Amino acid sequence: MLANPYEWRIRDKGSGPAILLLHAFPYDGRMWDGQADVLAASHRVLVPDMPGFGGAAAWPATPPHVDAWAADLLSGLGRLGVTKAIVAGCSLGGYLAFALMRAAPDFLQGLALVDSRSIPDSKDRRTARLEDAERIIREGRSFFIERTRRPLDEELSAYPAARASAEKMLADASSGGLADALVALATRPDSTPQLASIKVPAVVMRGVNDPILGRDEAVGLAAAVAGAVYVEFEGAGHIPTFQRPDQVTAALLALAARCGS
């Protein structure tokens, strides 16, 4: 943890049992807007922006790492009186959820892994991410934003509101935030050994059209967690909140019911 805790930017709405929603890269907490209002009718919903995203300040220490983020986020949540929560993480958010488990196993009351995985990057993927991070620091973020926007525009061509929201989140991601997140992604540890120790209700969600997380891997991930439920969303990609927000919300409410909240 930092000597001077990072001031996390956390949207906080509703009351009741806590649900923590952790966003994917390279977006921010607004990717959960389709879920937050509905969940807040019965729960306290907390949606942090990771460092450098959505207008949040940059991470003040180097190197950035999901375990450092988790320890500091737990401190920030503690200052808000949140000591337990159902945690849902999409992609990078799932890696942060695993880090929260490593830091404070009793914090989680339920777990949703949304188009996320337990394994670390391959050597080639790690190298590519670190090279992108160095290039962003050296040249700025324009090349990365443009490269991300092209397939996104195609994927969300039938969802203009979601496309506009995604592009706004991309525009608001700072160069430092993008570079730090790429390093955190590349250096995350293997979380597979943690799967057998997960004893809380869990759900693994996947968009059928996800080009990153294959179905076999996602099904295997669910099978490795005792009692986990597996849910697929037809017509959705790596960020199913963009194309199937209502179905993601329903799956989260079902998880909450299994958690007794």
Q: Return mean pLDDT, the chain.
A: 96
What is the side-by-side strand order in the sheet with 18-22? 9-13, 44-49, 18-22, 85-90, 108-114, 202-207, 229-233
For the stretch 24-42, pLDDT in tens is 999 999 999 999 999 999 9
> Does residue 172 lie in a domain region?
no
- Residue 15 is part of which domain span? 9-119+190-258
> Does residue 131 lie in a domain region?
no
Q: Is the pLDDT of residue 1 over 70?
A: no
> Does residue 215 lie in a domain region?
yes
For the stretch 247-258, pLDDT in tens is 999 999 999 999
> What pLDDT, on a 0 to 100 scale, did the predictor assign at position 46?
98
> Does residue 216 lie in a domain region?
yes
Q: Is the pLDDT of residue 3 over 70?
A: no
For the stretch 94-141, pLDDT in tens is 999 999 999 999 999 999 999 999 999 999 999 999 999 999 999 999
Cβ(55)–Cβ(179) below 8 Å: no
> Does residue 235 lie in a domain region?
yes
> What pLDDT, on a 0 to 100 scale, did the predictor assign at position 212?
95
For the stretch 139-148, pLDDT in tens is 999 999 999 9
Dist CA 102 CA 231 (whole Å)? 25
> Does residue 18 lie in a domain region?
yes
> Does residue 110 lie in a domain region?
yes
Q: What percent of the chain has pLDDT over 70?
A: 98
> Does residue 149 lie in a domain region?
no
- More confident of the two residues 83 and 62: 83
CA distances, 194 to each of 48, 105, 116, 169, 199 (Å): 24, 10, 14, 31, 10
CATH number for the domain spanning 108: value is 3.40.50.1820
State how many domains the chain has: 1
pTM: 0.97
> What pLDDT, on a 0 to 100 scale, did the predictor assign at position 2?
53
For the stretch 182-232, pLDDT in tens is 999 999 999 999 999 999 999 999 999 999 999 999 999 999 999 999 999
